[in-house]
Structure 1
Amino acid sequence: MATLTTAPEIADALALRRRTMTLALLTTTYFFSYMDRQILAILLEDIKADLLLSDTQLGLLSGLVFAIFYATLGIPVARLADRTSRRDIIAASLAIWSAMTALCGLAQNFTQLMLARIGVGIGEAGSSPPSHSIIADLYPPDKRASAMAVYSLGVVLGAGFGTLIGGFVATHYGWRVAMFTVGLPGIALAVLVKMFVVEPRRGLSDAGRVAEQGDAPSVMAGFAAIWRSAPALHLVVGVTLTSMIGYAITGWGPSYMQRSLGLSKLDISYYIALPGALFGSISAIAGGRIADRWAKARGLHVQSWVVLVMKGLSLPLVLAFYLIDVPAIAIGCYFGSLLFANSYLGPSFALIQHLAPLRLRAMWAAITLLVINLVGLGLGPLLVGRLSDWLAPSLGEASLRWSLVAIVSLTPWALFHYWRAGVLLRRAGD
């Protein structure tokens, strides 16, 4: 007698069959997110001249105005994602921020551009938390770090191509056309996300775990759950410190290359941006693959120690980049450091999703991103700038160099938390 296949079993099979397509679409969405975010940096001088803005206004547009709405709205969006269709939230969010990016090209003054940038932040708040949740449901723990690493390519490639496309289009057609160029295609992508991304059953790839029934827990319950989980707390602190250092390096890297190494903006665009994106992509993928391979052999706790080792190897190369005055050698050290720099992305977010209660996966991702963006993005570049200003009277242009050395020297603090998280995960049997 033939065994009847239930509707849930058919849905589960379809979700697993289409998970590669889903991961590809989510990664492409993340790519558009970072491209739309990064393009403003390369257009700032053109926007300043056209709209007669001050540097303070430019700083608000590129940092605080975006970060506040992006970080804080991720929490209510994640709560919604833990109760409703994550796919639909991602598609709607993508359409919103893509349209608002294009609208930036129509702005005639600071207020209009600020409102459009707020719209971009609001839209992008609905992308990563539900995406993390979907990926965690589609990939089992021993493959999750690799999947998260693939997803993180959106950061590296989006930033690189945002700079490249924005610079090229703005040079030939103006900054407004550049905004249209990166914004409008995202609306078409939103349709594809709605049509082809699957909405998997919560806990699909976690054998033995069953999603809790009833209403999703509150936001405070999400914070409390992370606070009670010592491994998760160490991971959140570790990834936040690592991101803060990374945002500082990314935000001030071009200025350092110009001030201390004598490179031009064109040199950085042509010879640094895309090779850097390539090396960063290798780092992200390798970090996830290595973490998954060692997890199969030794247990999930080893994934945290993979980050410890990889980031530890990058530290002397980063310091050499800032301490060596010969441009060719310094840039070589910089590229070398990038081979390890993004290795933390896949394992960090995969372990956080592993530890999260099934009904709180999007919420935990949103809380992590909230802390990363408010502390990492908010403080990293600011600390370097403040320290550089403080050191400038005595060190001159070298003040930026030593400010970056100081922020990079915080890396061992982050590595301690990854070590401790691994210890606690091993004690818990993971």
Structure 2
Amino acid sequence: MYENPTAHDAPPRSADRAGGSQAPFIVAEGAISAGGWPLLVILTIVYVVSFIDRGAISLVVGPIKQDLGVSDLQVSWLLGLSFMLLYSVLGIPAGYLVDNWRRKRLLGGAMLLWSGVQILCGLSQTYLLLFLTRIGLGVGEAVLPPAAASMIRDAFPPERRGLAFGIYNIGPLLGTGLALVLGGYLLKFSAAGHLAGIPLLGLLKPWQFVLVVPGLIGIPLALMLWLVREPTRRDAVSADKVSYGDALRYAWAHKSVYLPLWCAICLYGIAIGSQMAWLPEIIARTMGYSRPVIGQTLGAVGLIASPAGLLIWGSIADRLRKRGMVDAPVRVAIVSTAIAALVTAAFPWIDSAQLGIPAYAAQTFFFAVFAVAGGATMANLTPGNMMGKLTAIYYLVTNLFGLALGPTVVALVARVLFAGAGALGHAFVACYVVSVGLAIVLLMRVSRSIRARAAEAR
């Protein structure tokens, strides 16, 4: 049900609802909500599992190609477009529901749905069925971004959101790492014949087993979501229902921040999406390591470097924010992401694990905070009763033009501009560096706009 406002909440002015006169940064100072930290832990675990579900497929690209007889371009549609198509679009109605209904109930039900579909994904016998179940996975996961962002915003005050969103955004990188580690072990276990004689599981091919297990993990976690304490909507305007038109008018009134921020995150999506989709396959083709070893190695590095980067950079952003730097998450992201791009540019010259492991660790450590800049800035800029809607639009734009296109962009660039065994790797590095470079330029624009609007509000 829609949550009624607390007694001390005053109704917002009608002009505020449309977004025309409201201050560009919503200041809702106060303590962390009761149950805020346990909620954040559960949401982070859910985010991790969601990326295990969607990312496990990247480790079994080769076996899928062989069994189903498909090309790299067709595989890129499995890795990007199929999942992101409805994941992004259905975020729009999900955002409306998040702003008006009990968020934990919505999210728990959605996780049950996507876990079931992930199991069906692993049971697929044809390319068409695999493509359709990947679409279904995106349908369920569409509720997660607006629901989690809205609850984190209401659970934590502005000066603690850098760390909060930093912890939450451990999910994608930690989930990607676990997908590779878990997938590597599952692939090795199944390929060794240990499933023989086990009912149902024994009939699965190794790549199918890798996809089925993550779906089984999600079912008990979905039930746990219904037990967490949902935070009260934090500020006064959260009490008032608004339409998508109101939310879009508010975003347009502050387009000097929203538009470049959203475009920057699109470019981030191209970079991270192409890496998640293709890096294991690139290493397998160019360096000759087995896929289980690749998964276990990349996953283990990511499990350490990603959380370290997010926690350290998120904490730095919070400290700078307390000292009066209103654009702290963005400034921190500009510096750290530039370093990550430089490290990635050196990838073509890496020909051994001794160089590759520390390089991947450094890139992951410095790149991790980029998503924090988007999440924390959105939370600080957006009223509570619009957070679900604008987060849904944010993910619609960034996923369709970022994560969904990333794998396909790399495949097309490799086909058109490069040749030979290293074509895919060179295309990945080129797309990553160009995308991140443009994103940094846009974040500089965001930073200037935030400072200017904060000065006007004083």
TM-score by length of 2: 0.82
CA drift at 1:289 = 1.0
Tell me, in whole angstroms, the C-alpha distance in 2 between the residues paired with 1:409 and 1:293: 31
Tell me, in whole angstroms, the C-alpha distance in 2 between the residues paired with 1:374 and 1:165: 28
Q: Which residue of 2 aligns with 1:226?
A: 251
* 263 and 21 in structure 1: CA distance in 2 versus 1, 3 angstrom threshold: same
Q: 2:70 is matched by which residue type in structure 1?
A: S
2:231 matches 1:200: yes
CA drift at 1:39 = 1.7
CA drift at 1:97 = 0.4
Q: Which moved more, 1:348-357 or 1:263-272?
A: 263-272
Given that 2:284 and 2:290 are in contact with CA atoms closer than 8 Å, whether structure 1 keeps it comes out as yes
Given that 1:286 and 1:343 are in contact with CA atoms closer than 8 Å, whether structure 2 keeps it comes out as no
| Cα RMSD after superposing both structures | 2.6
Q: Which residue of 2 aligns with 1:359?
A: 385
Q: Which moved more, 1:313-322 or 1:346-355?
A: 313-322
Tell me, in whole angstroms, the C-alpha distance in 1 between the residues paired with 2:279 and 2:449: 35
Tell me, in whole angstroms, the C-alpha distance in 1 between the residues paired with 2:258 and 2:97: 22
Given that 1:217 and 1:359 are in contact with CA atoms closer than 8 Å, whether structure 2 keeps it comes out as no
Over residues 239-278 of structure 1, what are the superposed CA-to-partner deviations in whole Å (9 max), with x where a residue is unaligned? 2212212222332322332344444424312322221232
Tell me, in whole angstroms, the C-alpha distance in 1 between the residues paired with 2:423 and 2:64: 28
Secondary structure in 2 aligned to 1:64? helix
Q: 2:258 is matched by which residue type in structure 1?
A: A
* 265 and 146 in structure 1: CA distance in 2 versus 1, 3 angstrom threshold: same
* 275 and 386 in structure 1: CA distance in 2 versus 1, 3 angstrom threshold: same
User: Any residues of structure 2 matched to 1:345-424 within 5 Å, and which?
Assistant: 345-393=371-419, 396-407=420-431, 408-424=433-449
Provide structure 1 residue ranges, at least 5 long, that are not aligned to the other structure. 1-5
Over residues 106-164 of structure 1, what are the superposed CA-to-partner deviations in whole Å (9 max), with x where a residue is unaligned? 43444444443332111100111111000001101110111111111111121122222
Given that 2:85 and 2:404 are in contact with CA atoms closer than 8 Å, whether structure 1 keeps it comes out as no
CA drift at 1:333 = 2.4
User: Any residues of structure 2 matched to 1:146-295 within 5 Å, and which?
Assistant: 146-171=163-188, 172=190, 173=195, 174-196=206-228, 198-202=229-233, 204=234, 209-211=235-237, 213-218=239-244, 220-229=245-254, 230-295=256-321
Tell me, in whole angstroms, the C-alpha distance in 2 between the residues paired with 1:248 and 1:120: 19
Over residues 163-212 of structure 1, what are the superposed CA-to-partner deviations in whole Å (9 max), with x where a residue is unaligned? 2223322442344444442212322211211122x23222x2xxxx4215
Secondary structure in 1 aligned to 2:454? coil
* 315 and 62 in structure 1: CA distance in 2 versus 1, 3 angstrom threshold: closer
Given that 1:35 and 1:161 are in contact with CA atoms closer than 8 Å, whether structure 2 keeps it comes out as yes
* 225 and 8 in structure 1: CA distance in 2 versus 1, 3 angstrom threshold: closer
Would you say how many aligned residue pairs link Structure 1 and Structure 2?
412
Higher helix content, 1 or 2: 1
Residue in structure 1 matching 2:346, options 320, 327, 351: 320
Secondary structure in 2 aligned to 1:298? coil
Q: 2:428 is matched by which residue type in structure 1?
A: L
Q: 1:194 is matched by which residue type in structure 2?
A: W
Q: Which residue of 1 aligns with 2:368?
A: 342
Q: Which moved more, 1:248-257 or 1:20-29?
A: 248-257
* 106 and 252 in structure 1: CA distance in 2 versus 1, 3 angstrom threshold: closer
Q: Which moved more, 1:181-190 or 1:84-93?
A: 181-190
What is the percent sequence identity of the aligned residues?
28
Tell me, in whole angstroms, the C-alpha distance in 2 between the residues paired with 1:19 and 1:291: 20
Tell me, in whole angstroms, the C-alpha distance in 2 between the residues paired with 1:212 and 1:27: 24
Given that 1:15 and 1:199 are in contact with CA atoms closer than 8 Å, whether structure 2 keeps it comes out as no
Over residues 334-361 of structure 1, what are the superposed CA-to-partner deviations in whole Å (9 max), with x where a residue is unaligned? 3222220111122321111211122110
Provide structure 2 residue ranges, at least 5 long, that are not aligned to the other structure. 9-29, 196-205
Given that 1:31 and 1:158 are in contact with CA atoms closer than 8 Å, whether structure 2 keeps it comes out as yes
* 95 and 419 in structure 1: CA distance in 2 versus 1, 3 angstrom threshold: same
2:454 matches 1:429: yes
TM-score by length of 1: 0.87
Q: Which residue of 2 aligns with 1:54?
A: 70
Residue in structure 2 matching 1:296, options 318, 322, 332: 322
2:159 matches 1:138: no
Q: 1:307 is matched by which residue type in structure 2?
A: A
Residue in structure 2 matching 1:31, options 39, 45, 48: 48
Given that 1:248 and 1:404 are in contact with CA atoms closer than 8 Å, whether structure 2 keeps it comes out as yes
Tell me, in whole angstroms, the C-alpha distance in 1 between the residues paired with 2:260 and 2:182: 38
Tell me, in whole angstroms, the C-alpha distance in 2 between the residues paired with 1:402 and 1:299: 38
